[in-house]
Amino acid sequence: MGSAEPKKRIAIMGSTGSIGTQTLDVIRSHSELFEVEILTAHSNDELLIKQALEFRPNAVVICDEKKYEAVKSALSSTDIKVFAGENALEQVADFDTYDIMLAAIVGFAGLKPTLKAVNKGKMIALANKETLVVAGDIVMQTALEKRAPIIPVDSEHSAIFQCLVGEARNPIEKVILTASGGPFLGKKPNFLVNVKRDHALQHPNWSMGAKISIDSATLMNKGLEMIEAKWLFNLEPKQVEVVIHPQSIVHSLVQFEDGSLKAQMGLPDMKLPIQYALGFPGRIKNDFPRFNFRKYPTLSFEEPDYKTFRNLGLAIEALKTGGNMPCILNAANEIAVWAFLKNRIGFLDITAVVEKTMESISLIAKPTLEEYFDSDGEARNFAASLMKL
């Protein structure tokens, strides 16, 4: 990219989170290429204010309306527009003044603003995998119609995307998503039954937000990623596989019809896929630490333990069933993970809640967007009642 090109203006949805703050790190290091147009936060007003004062966006959103006055007054000496409430996310997503939306809100809450940006034909750098898990058919169809490029930020999908550059005419035989296995790799149910939140939050290779950290410990994250891969790369369920790779160096692989496997590798650092998505189609020079094979004499691969980590099987079932089933799986999982993080249920109860909710909510084969919202609500209510929340 030549320095004469205009800076890309970035809307960061969920700027106070793990992906959001790492995106700002990337932008800070490359202020000649990028500028911040929009920042949004759920309730962390202090960090949002700090970010706004540093990056001087056009607008910020604080979803928690109780924090509006605090943000407004802290930014009163600037011309930054301040919005509050969840609806404001869609309002700013409707702005014409940004080039790329970095979708880094966690969970179902990310769907509406992302879909708004897709409808406007904006480029999406997608971290919020739940958007595709819930309504992948609608999101991808809209992206096609509106010519909105979706560049994955999830490291596995970024890896696959990078492997596919230059391969547009070559069908994919299958993709293989790598999984670290999380903090409880090799453990059995008799251990997992007693696991507490703080232990489950300790991921061996990645530092991430709370929800995805728990999803990584239960392997639900990999199941959600299988569904995400189906939609991003237009695959049949049987073309998506998972392998455990504890070192997290091979970020995923694509197998072509001649049996050739392409992999993308690198140290586990989310700034790499974030930077790739923002810079696409260019690669941006950086000084991040480089991979050194002497520090990794062995890269190993093994079959997932489906018997112990049953969430992975449930996600595969949802992937195969299709319709609103992935939406139901996701909603039940969001509520169950929230309850686990509040110490209201045990680690293995997460799976039980997801399974019972999947059995109980009616299947809709080809849901409308409204029906996805209804299924999400129904599944949440059912899961909450199971846990007596």
How many of the chain's residues bind Mg ion (CB under 5 A)? 3
Q: Which is nearer to ligand NAD, 127 or 331 (CB)?
A: 127
How many of the chain's residues bind ligand NAD (CB under 6 A)? 28
Q: Does 130 bind ligand NAD (CB under 6 A)?
A: yes
List, in sequence order, the alpha helices (H) in the chain: 18-29, 45-55, 68-74, 87-93, 111-119, 130-146, 155-164, 189-192, 197-200, 210-218, 220-233, 271-279, 310-321, 325-341, 347-360, 369-386
Q: Which is nearer to Mg ion, 37 or 225 (CB)?
A: 225
Q: Does 206 bind ligand NAD (CB under 6 A)?
A: yes
Pairing of strands 261-265, 172-179: unpaired
Question: C-beta of 124: minimal distance to Mg ion in Å?
Answer: 17
Among 42, 67, 245, 251, binds ligand NAD (CB under 6 A): 42
Q: Does 154 bind Mg ion (CB under 5 A)?
A: yes
Q: Does 246 bind ligand NAD (CB under 6 A)?
A: no
Among 10, 19, 62, 177, binds ligand NAD (CB under 6 A): 19
Q: Does 17 bind ligand NAD (CB under 6 A)?
A: yes
Q: Which is nearer to Mg ion, 241 or 371 (CB)?
A: 241
Question: What is d(CA 81, CA 66) in angstroms, rounded to the nearest whole number?
Answer: 17
Partner that binds at residue 14, options ligand NAD, Mg ion, none, CB closer than 5 to 8 Å by kind: ligand NAD
User: Tokens for 14?
Assistant: 């969920």
DSSP three-state, residue 49: helix
Question: What is d(CA 231, CA 208) in angstroms, rounded to the nearest whole number?
Answer: 24
How many other C-beta atoms can be found within 10 angstroms of the C-beta atom of residue 299? 14
For 189-230, what is the HEC assignment?
A: HHHHCCCCHHHHCCCCCCCCCHHHHHHHHHCHHHHHHHHHHH
Binding site for Mg ion (CB under 5 A): 154-156
Binding site for ligand NAD (CB under 6 A): 14-20, 41-42, 44, 63, 86, 104-106, 109, 127-130, 154, 206, 208-212, 270
